[in-house]
């Protein structure tokens, strides 16, 4: 049986009749940049995330960058974040000229370890950026308390976690601001690049709106040196349609994750715990095995495609060599990077495909 790692074509086939007329509407109105579809999406996504403001942007990386600026992070300041993430989390810090201060994960969850944050904070720390990695919320109570006690803003990297909940409330409104990505492969994916900043803070929202559009609120009058971080009209139209389906897709992702957990239980495959305080939305289903590369090859031979998120932790990337971290600096993150396998996970997978992939993994990884 073939189990592809990921496939967006089936989803388009199901949505085609909604999407095509919406894209035509954008063409007919010639509202290619921002415009009514984007404004409507901002309202709908803010409501979905249970926050006051959503500012639509061109990418999730831009959202994190603007959040960093709104937090007042400056050159040579420090920002504490996880070494186990996609590089964009760190890049947004670097765009300011600030220093990413990486910390290790809690191996039980693969998410940033609040005790490590506490140790890494100094009087130059200007923000803390936890990542809800793979769609699984971080320990927000502990992290928000560290921030509140020291007056350091918390910025959620929510790029993989659209709709996830922590103690019953959607993530995206817990810190000063949050960054979301609508890269096509994300749970809520655009048909091109896309991102958003969410916040309950009027000042942060207004600053992000001004900075995304060349520092202007009135055309050709520029109060600040800004960026061109605007969302396209097409993306607003697509995202509005897809947002209406998101909870159904998420329910299917959760059901698939549950099947994986059931079949992998008692095997040698390590599956990270789900926090009892949180509802994960499973952007990815990542497990840990010994001899990872051989296991992936054997799965491939059985028709099961997999991926690795991420093969090289951020502190060991060449781009961050100047920070001087050596292998061994963050043992849990490095343990994970050597063993992680992302299993196929998208709503259109059938139960048969999920069962086949999970059973194949148990077999090739050394059984129960």
Under the criterion CB under 6 A, does residue 183 sit at the interface with ligand PLP? yes
Residue 164 structure tokens: 């996830």
Under the criterion CB under 6 A, does residue 356 sit at the interface with ligand PLP? no
Under the criterion CB under 6 A, does residue 81 sit at the interface with ligand PLP? no
What strands, in cross-sheet order, belong to the sheet with 177-181? 53-57, 195-199, 177-181, 155-157
Report whether the peptide linkage leading into residue 310 is cis, meaning its omega lies within 30 degrees of zero.
yes
Among 35, 60, 135, 172, binds ligand PLP (CB under 6 A): 60
Give the strand pairing for 78-82 and 99-103. Answer: parallel
Neighbouring C-beta atoms of residue 168, cutoff 10 Å = 9
Closer of 38 and 263 to ligand PLP (Cβ): 38
Among 86, 166, 260, 330, binds ligand PLP (CB under 6 A): 86
Closer of 295 and 316 to ligand PLP (Cβ): 316
Cα separation, 46 vs 360, whole angstroms: 41
Q: Which stretch binds ligand PLP (CB under 6 A): 25-33, 34-42, 82-90, 252-260?
A: 82-90
CB 240, min distance to ligand PLP, A: 18
Q: Which stretch binds ligand PLP (CB under 6 A): 56-64, 68-76, 214-222, 245-253?
A: 56-64
Under the criterion CB under 6 A, does residue 61 sit at the interface with ligand PLP? yes
Residue 130 structure tokens: 């936890």
Residue 61 structure tokens: 């990386």
Neighbouring C-beta atoms of residue 40, cutoff 10 Å = 14
Size of the site for ligand PLP (CB under 6 A): 14
Using CB under 6 A as the binding rule, the residues of this chain from 276 to 295 that contact ligand PLP are: none
Under the criterion CB under 6 A, does residue 55 sit at the interface with ligand PLP? no
Q: Which stretch binds ligand PLP (CB under 6 A): 67-75, 83-91, 118-126, 293-301?
A: 83-91
Under the criterion CB under 6 A, does residue 333 sit at the interface with ligand PLP? no
Closer of 240 and 295 to ligand PLP (Cβ): 240
CB 180, min distance to ligand PLP, A: 8
Among 31, 81, 89, 210, binds ligand PLP (CB under 6 A): 89
Q: Which string of b and e fits 290-326 if b means at least 16 CB within 10 Å?
A: eebeebbebbeebebbbbbbbeebbbbeeebeebebe
Widest pairwise Cα distance in the chain: 66
Closer of 38 and 159 to ligand PLP (Cβ): 159
Q: What phi and psi values does residue 129 have, to the nearest 5 degrees? A: -120, 90
Cα separation, 107 vs 49, whole angstroms: 28
Cα separation, 314 vs 129, whole angstroms: 14
Among 131, 144, 246, 336, binds ligand PLP (CB under 6 A): 131
CB 6, min distance to ligand PLP, A: 14
Cα separation, 275 vs 307, whole angstroms: 24
Contacts 24+ apart (CB under 8 A), 114-123: 114/139, 114/142, 114/143, 114/146, 117/80, 117/143, 117/146, 118/146, 120/80, 121/80, 121/146, 121/150, 121/152, 122/78
CB-closest chain residue to ligand PLP: 60
Closer of 112 and 264 to ligand PLP (Cβ): 112
Using CB under 6 A as the binding rule, the residues of this chain from 302 to 331 that contact ligand PLP are: none
Q: Which stretch binds ligand PLP (CB under 6 A): 111-119, 152-160, 229-237, 334-342?
A: 152-160
Q: Fill in the DSSP letter of residue 112.
A: B
Kindly list the residues in this chain that would bind ligand PLP in the complex (CB under 6 A). Answer: 59-61, 85-86, 88-89, 131, 157, 159-160, 181, 183, 195
């Amino acid at each position: 049986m073939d189990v592809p790692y990921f496939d967006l074509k089936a989803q388009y086939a199901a949505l085609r009749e909604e999407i095509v007329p919406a894209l035509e509407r954008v063409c007919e109105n010639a509202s290619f940049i921002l415009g009514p579809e984007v404004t409507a999406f901002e309202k709908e996504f803010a409501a979905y995330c249970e926050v006051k403001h959503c500012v639509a942007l061109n990418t999730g990386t831009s959202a994190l960058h603007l959040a960093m600026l709104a937090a007042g992070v400056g050159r040579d300041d420090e920002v504490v974040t996880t070494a186990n993430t996609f590089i964009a989390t760190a890049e947004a810090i670097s765009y300011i000229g600030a220093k990413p201060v990486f910390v290790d994960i809690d191996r039980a969850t693969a998410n940033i370890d609040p005790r490590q944050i506490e140790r890494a904070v100094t009087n130059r720390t200007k923000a803390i950026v936890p990542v809800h990695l793979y769609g699984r919320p971080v320990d927000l109570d502990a992290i928000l308390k560290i921030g509140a006690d020291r007056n350091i803003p918390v910025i959620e990297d929510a790029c993989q976690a659209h709709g996830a909940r922590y103690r019953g409330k959607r993530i995206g409104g817990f810190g000063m601001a949050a960054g979301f990505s609508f890269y096509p492969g994300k749970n809520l994916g655009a048909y091109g690049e896309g991102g958003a900043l969410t916040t309950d803070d009027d000042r942060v929202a207004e600053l992000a709106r001004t900075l995304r559009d060349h520092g202007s609120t009135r055309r050709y009058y520029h109060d600040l040196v800004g960026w061109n971080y605007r969302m396209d009209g097409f993306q607003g139209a697509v995202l509005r349609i897809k947002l209406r389906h998101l909870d159904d897709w998420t329910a299917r992702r959760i059901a698939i994750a549950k099947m994986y957990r059931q079949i992998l239980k008692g095997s040698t495959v390590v599956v990270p715990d789900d926090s009892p305080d949180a509802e994960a939305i499973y952007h990815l289903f990542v497990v840990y095995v010994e001899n990872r590369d051989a296991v992936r090859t054997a799965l491939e031979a059985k028709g099961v495609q997999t991926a690795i998120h991420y093969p090289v932790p951020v502190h060991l990337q060449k781009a961050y060599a100047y920070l001087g971290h050596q292998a061994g600096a963050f043992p849990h993150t490095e343990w994970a990077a050597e063993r992680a396998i992302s299993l196929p996970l998208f709503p259109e997978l059938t139960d048969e495909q999920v069962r086949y992939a999970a059973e194949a993994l148990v077999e090739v990884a050394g059984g129960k």
